[in-house]
């Protein structure tokens, strides 16, 4: 028997140019930035037949096309629906979510960001601006560098709910104009965490750790190299000490031989 409510599978995509422009915009602001994400959503229903029966799945593709930096909530996280509506009027694309940029910050939502997300999900005014049946995407953008500034990384993470009752999960972002050979070069590497994000009520989200970023790996490599250099220096010192002691022993042996002859 077919399921009455189709299961919804969602994919998230953007172009490399769009993502680069988003980072360029927030970096130029020289501070924390938030804003709205606009794009398009396409849906397709598919019927799947298995040994246990049949079911209908809804395939929804969210294409992010514009990252518009704008202040739509106050310092306490209270959103202003009028500002969101005004920003939507200025865009040709549809509102699909929002983003937050915090420099040198972990890729996990803060309590205030979770509060903003919950308001966006529950506001009837904003629901009318979102595509029907689609929950808002939440993007976390960050940038950081190593201690010696040899490596700078631009990091991102996108969270999404499949439906109003589910918890937030990390979504893989598909860069549409990334060449196939470039994708194969990374193999099975995925730059996102598969750990589910609990609801705002739970404080467990504060201890969830996303996968290591490029600069974190670089810092670890630098620390490991520093430890190796220290061990090499210690070995070199021990070798010199052994050589010096050998020379002293040879000198004492020569003195003993001279005394013995006399």
The band of 168, judged by pLDDT with boundaries at 50, 70 and 90, is confident
pTM: 0.64
* Residue 22: how many other CB atoms lie within 10 Å: 25
Top pLDDT among 226 and 75 is at 75
Q: Which of residues 185, 211, 237 is at a domain's end?
A: 211
Of 51, 26, 20, 15, residue with least CA distance to 179: 15
- pLDDT tens, position by position, 215-259: 667 677 777 777 887 888 888 888 888 888 888 888 888 888 888
Together in a domain, 139 and 260: no
Q: Is 86's pLDDT higher than 60?
A: yes
Asked if residue 36 is part of any domain, the answer here is yes
In order of 9, 115, 167, the CA distances from 160 in angstroms are 11, 15, 8
Q: Which two tokens stand for residue 75?
A: 């310092």
Together in a domain, 122 and 166: yes
Asked if residue 1 is part of any domain, the answer here is no
Instruction: Tell me, rounded to whole angstroms, the distance of Cα 186 from its chain centroid.
Output: 17
The 173-175 sheet, strands edge to edge: 169-171, 152-160, 137-145, 94-101, 33-50, 53-69, 7-14, 173-175
Q: Does residue 43 sit in helix, strand or coil?
A: strand
Q: Can you give the CATH number for the domain in which 173 is found?
A: 3.40.140.10
Q: What share of the chain is helix, strand, coil (3-state, %, to 5)?
A: 35, 30, 35
Together in a domain, 62 and 164: yes
């Amino acid at each position: 028997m077919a399921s009455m409510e189709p299961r919804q599978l969602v994919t998230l995509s953007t172009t490399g140019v769009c993502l680069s422009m988003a980072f360029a915009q927030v970096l130029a602001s020289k501070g924390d930035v938030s804003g709205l994400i606009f794009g398009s959503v396409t849906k397709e229903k598919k019927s799947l037949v298995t040994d246990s029966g049949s079911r209908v799945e809804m395939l929804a593709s969210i294409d992010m096309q514009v990252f518009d930096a704008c202040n739509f909530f106050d310092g306490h996280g209270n959103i202003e629906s009028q500002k969101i509506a005004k920003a939507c009027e200025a865009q040709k694309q549809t509102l699909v979510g929002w983003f937050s940029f915090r420099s040198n910050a972990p890729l996990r939502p803060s309590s205030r960001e979770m509060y903003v997300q919950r308001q966006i999900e529950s506001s009837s005014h904003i629901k009318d601006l979102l595509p029907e049946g689609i929950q808002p995407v939440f993007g976390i953008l960050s940038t950081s560098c190593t201690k010696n500034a040899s490596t700078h990384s631009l990091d991102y993470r996108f969270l999404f709910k499949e439906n109003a009752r589910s918890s937030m999960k990390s979504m893989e972002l598909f860069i549409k104009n990334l060449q196939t050979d470039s994708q194969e070069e990374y193999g099975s590497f995925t730059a996102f965490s598969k750990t589910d994000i609990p609801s705002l009520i739970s404080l467990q989200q504060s201890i969830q750790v996303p996968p290591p970023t490029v600069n974190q790996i670089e810092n670890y490599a630098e620390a490991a190299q520093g430890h190796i250099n220290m061990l090499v220096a210690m070995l070199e010192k021990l070798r010199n000490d052994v050589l010096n002691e050998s020379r002293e022993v040879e000198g004492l042996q020569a003195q003993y031989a001279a005394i013995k002859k006399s």
